[in-house]
């Protein structure tokens, strides 16, 4: 069934089952303890009345002895016969008189209606019976009792087990054999106790049912609240899959496991949205960058085909198309390089080399451009060996030096420094240019982004993005700091050997 596939219903059913078992066990235990307590009180009262009857039987009021009656030898108090022949049946039955001061123990107005029967020795004739004795036979019970204490073989001793208790209908009875051989059978009605136990059972059932309802309602609310983030996660995921990447999960309880999961998913959705936005921006910028050279080529070709032109004019048209094609090629190569670096498919060399030599060579390569713009380059290089692809890292150094020259002011300076610190090669390039606005610092490594769009160097806006990818592939970092009208500093950190 579908209901058993729901986590909420499974938890609720399991919780309800445990609650029912606990309540049932507690209720049965409480009922049994109360029943034992009440019947133990009844048994104590029955034993107390046996003592009263035994005392009345052993201490009858003085009476006149008949001359033909044989004396009845009773054992002294506290002594039991250890052996000897069983008592004779022809022994006359003793006289029984219940004193008036003990009559209240068998008051007919008592709700329990205590009653008694006294038998002679060896289960012989009946000596006395209370007036309120119920109308039922006890012969079978007395025979069972006699057999249980082995009455016909020996007298009971103080070590004998307590007398058995008998229950039937609404009565509870017990019997005891006196050392002199008489049997006292005492009983009472337990209807008041049974009614009280019935009320106790109803109360326990009602309380247990109420606790069960409250527990199930509370469990349903608690389970629903605990699993609420799952519903929100599913709803948000459906909206995101439909294209709305701005949706987020409402994290109400971030401390719970599901709340932490929702927090992680929100972070993932945020990165996913940023990645899609970046991809859209990248696609738009790439299309824009490719559209310009394509438009140049189409315009030049269309102009050349409109009418007959001289050889120098055709040559000029072809050269313009060539420049546009070269720009497209550089852009495409940069895009392919970024794609390979992002996918980890760029085959980087892992060779040990002197990074200071690579930086010095790049500085010499850029010096003609710097001299043309009146910019001076100063280098302070310590010999530092690193492991990596020297050609790719030379591309990073050249890109940073070129940017420092192009975005510098006439007569400005570019200072290049390399040092080893804490097992890292620290490479810095600083210039004295106009600087980068604070709002643009976080975006300088984005693809196709140019902080100063009015002073394009003819690049495609991918140089810093490629530099960051190359440095990251070598296990390093690249950072930028800048102050307007002061200059910009790029810092590259790479693991040193």
Res 68: pLDDT: 47
Q: What is the pLDDT of residue 288?
A: 65
pLDDT value, residue 385: 94
Characterise 30 by phi-psi region: left (phi > 0), alpha (psi -120 to 50), beta (else).
Answer: alpha
Give the C-alpha separation, 477 to 166, whole Å. 93
Under a CB-based contact definition with an 8 Å cutoff, are residues 469 and 340 in contact?
A: no
CA distances for 365 relative to 368, 384, 393, 467, angstroms: 7, 20, 14, 18
Burial class of residue 124 in the structure, from the number of CB atoms within 10 Å of its CB (0-12 exposed, 13-18 middle, 19+ buried): middle
Mean pLDDT of 358-368: 92
pLDDT exceeds 70 at position 125: yes
Write down the architecture of domain 351-495 according to CATH: 2-Layer Sandwich (3.30)
Q: Which residue has the higher pLDDT, 338 or 387?
A: 387
How far apart are the C-alpha atoms of 430 and 237, rounded to whole Å? 46
Gap between the terminal Cα atoms of the chain: 65
pLDDT per residue as tens digits for the range 462-486 = 788 888 988 998 999 999 999 888 8
Residue 220 half-sphere exposure toward CB, CA atoms < 13 A? 6
What pLDDT is stored for residue 59 in this prediction?
A: 66
pLDDT digits (tens, 9 = 90+) for 256-315: 677 777 788 888 888 888 777 767 766 766 776 677 778 888 888 888 888 888 888 888
The residues that bridge with 117 in the sheet, in sequence order, are 129, 185
Q: What is the 3-state secondary structure (H, E, C) of the chain?
A: CHHHHCHHHHHHHHHHHHHHHHHHHHHHHHHHHHHHHHHHHHHHHHHHHHHHHHHHHHCCCCCCCCCCCCCCCCCCCCCCCCCCCCCCCCCCCCCCCCCHHHHHHHCCCCCCCCEEEEECHHHCCEEEECCCCCCCCCHHHHHHHHHHCCCCCCCCCCCCCCCCEEEECCEEEEEEECCCCCEEEEEEECHHHHHHHHHHHHHHHHHHHHHHHHHHHHHHHHHHHHCHHHHHHHHHHHHHHCCCCCCCCCCCCCCCHHHHHHHHHHHHHHHHHHHHHHHHHHHHHHHHHHHHHHHHHHHHHHHHHHCCCCHHHHHHHHHHHHHHHHHHHHHHHHHHHHHHHHHCCCCCCCEEEEHHHHHHHHHHHHHHHHHHCCCEEEEEECCCEEEECHHHHHHHHHHHHHHHHHCCCCCCEEEEEEEEECCEEEEEEEECCCCCCHHHHHHCCCCCCCCCCCCCCCCCCCHHHHHHHHHHHCCCEEEEEEECCCEEEEEEEEEEC
- Rounded to an integer, what is the distance from CA 256 to the centroid of its chain? 7
Share of the chain above pLDDT 90, in %: 26
Q: Are residues 414 and 429 in contact, defined by beta-carbon separation less than 8 angstroms?
A: yes
Residue 278 CA: distances (Å) to CA of 199, 274, 346: 75, 6, 22
What pLDDT does 450 receive? 65
Question: With 70 as the cut, is the pLDDT of residue 459 above it?
Answer: no
**Distance from C-alpha of 217 to C-alpha of 223, rounded to nearest angstrom:** 10
pLDDT score, position 142:
45
Between helices 463-473 and 390-406, what is the axis angle to 10°? 150
Q: Which of these, 479, 483, 481, lies nearest to 491 by C-alpha position?
A: 479
Predicted pLDDT of residue 156? 39
419, 496 Cβ separation under 8 angstroms = no
Q: How far is CA 440 from CA 82, 279, 446, 452, 466, in A?
A: 115, 19, 10, 10, 18
In the chain, where the domains are located: 2-61+80-195, 257-343, 351-495
Q: Which pLDDT value is given to residue 162?
A: 53
pLDDT digits (tens, 9 = 90+) for 63-110: 444 444 444 343 444 333 443 344 444 455 566 777 778 778 888 778
Distance in angstroms (rounded) separating the CA atoms of residues 88 and 80: 17
In this model, does residue 53 exceed pLDDT 90?
Answer: no
What pLDDT score does 388 carry?
92
Rounded to whole angstroms, what are the CA distances from 311 to 265, 307, 308, 317? 65, 13, 10, 10
Note the pLDDT tens digit of each residue in 145-190.
445 444 333 333 333 445 677 777 788 888 888 887 788 889 898 9
pLDDT value at 416 more than 70: yes
The residues that bridge with 95 in the sheet, in sequence order, are none
451/435 Cα distance (integer angstroms): 10
Overall size of the chain counted in residues: 497
Whole-number pLDDT of residue 128: 82
Q: What is the pLDDT of residue 497?
A: 84
- The Cβ of residue 121 has, within 10 Å, a number of other Cβ atoms equal to 22
Check whether 250 has a pLDDT greater than 70: yes
d(CA 489, CA 421) in angstroms, rounded, equals 18
Q: In this predicted structure, what is the pLDDT of residue 21?
A: 93
Give the model's pLDDT for residue 375. 93
Longest dimension (CA), the chain: 177
Q: What is the dihedral of CA 228, 229, 233, 239, to 10 degrees?
A: 60
- Average pLDDT, whole number, for the chain? 79
- The answer, yes or no, to whether residue 29 has pLDDT greater than 50, is yes
**For residue 203, what pLDDT is reported?**
94
Mean pLDDT for 125-144 is 66
C-alpha to C-alpha distances, 170 to 49, 188, 447, nearest whole angstrom: 19, 9, 96
The listed range with the strongest mean pLDDT (88-102, 329-343, 350-364) is 350-364
Q: Which is more confidently placed, 175 or 425?
A: 425
What confidence score (pLDDT) does residue 253 get? 59
Q: Write out 461-475 in H/E/C secondary structure.
A: CCHHHHHHHHHHHCC
Q: What is the pLDDT of residues 205-244, one digit of tens each?
A: 999 999 999 988 988 888 877 777 777 778 888 887 777 7
For the domain made up of 257-343, give the CATH fold: Helix Hairpins (1.10.287)
Confidence category of residue 413, pLDDT binned at 50, 70, 90: very high
| Between 224 and 194, the higher pLDDT residue | 194
């Amino acid at each position: 069934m579908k209901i058993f596939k729901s986590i909420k219903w499974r938890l609720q059913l399991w919780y309800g089952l445990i609650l029912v078992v606990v309540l049932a066990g507690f209720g049965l235990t409480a009922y049994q303890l109360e029943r034992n307590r009440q019947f133990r009180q009844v048994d104590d009262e029955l034993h107390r009345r046996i003592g009263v009857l035994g005392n009345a039987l052993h201490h009858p009021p003085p009476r006149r002895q008949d001359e033909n009656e044989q004396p009845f030898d009773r054992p002294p108090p506290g002594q039991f016969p250890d052996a000897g022949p069983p008592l004779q049946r022809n022994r006359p039955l003793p006289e029984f008189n219940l004193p008036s001061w003990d009559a209240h123990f068998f008051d007919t107005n008592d709700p329990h209606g205590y009653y008694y029967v006294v038998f002679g020795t060896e289960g012989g004739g009946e000596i006395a019976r209370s007036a309120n004795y119920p109308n039922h036979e006890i012969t079978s019970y007395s025979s069972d009792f006699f057999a249980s204490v082995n009455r016909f073989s020996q007298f009971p001793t103080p070590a004998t087990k307590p007398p058995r208790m008998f229950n039937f209908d609404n009565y509870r009875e017990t019997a005891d054999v006196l050392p002199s051989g008489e049997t006292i059978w005492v009983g009472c009605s337990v209807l008041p106790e049974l009614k009280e136990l019935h009320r106790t059972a109803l109360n326990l059932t009602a309380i247990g049912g109420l606790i069960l309802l409250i527990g199930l309602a509370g469990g349903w609310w608690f389970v629903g609240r605990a699993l609420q983030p799952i519903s929100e996660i599913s709803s948000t995921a459906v909206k995101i899959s439909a294209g709305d990447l701005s949706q987020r999960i409402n994290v109400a309880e971030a401390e719970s496991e599901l709340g932490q999961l929702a927090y992680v998913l929100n972070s993932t959705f945020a990165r996913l949205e940023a990645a899609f936005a970046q991809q859209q921006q990248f696609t738009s910028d790439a299309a824009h960058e490719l559209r310009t050279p394509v438009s140049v080529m189409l315009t030049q070709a269309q102009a050349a085909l409109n009418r007959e032109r001289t050889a120098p004019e055709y040559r000029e048209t072809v050269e313009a198309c060539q420049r546009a094609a070269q720009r497209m090629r550089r852009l495409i190569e940069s895009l392919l390089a970024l794609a390979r670096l992002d996918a980890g498919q760029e085959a980087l060399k892992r060779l040990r080399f002197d990074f200071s030599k690579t930086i010095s060579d790049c500085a010499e390569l850029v010096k003609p451009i710097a001299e043309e713009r009146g910019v001076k380059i100063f280098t302070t290089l310590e010999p530092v060996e690193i492991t990596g692809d020297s050609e790719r890292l030379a591309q990073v150094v050249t890109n940073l030096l070129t940017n420092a020259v192009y975005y510098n002011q006439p007569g400005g300076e570019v200072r290049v420094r390399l040092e080893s610190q804490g097992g890292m090669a620290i490479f810095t390039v600083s210039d004295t240019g106009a600087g980068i606005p604070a709002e643009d610092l976080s975006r300088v490594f984005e693809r196709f982004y140019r902080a100063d769009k009015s002073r394009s160097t003819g690049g495609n806006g991918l140089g810093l993005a490629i530099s960051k990818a190359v440095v990251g592939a070598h296990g390093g970092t690249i950072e930028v700091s800048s102050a307007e009208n002061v200059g910009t500093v790029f810092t590259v950190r790479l693991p040193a050997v």
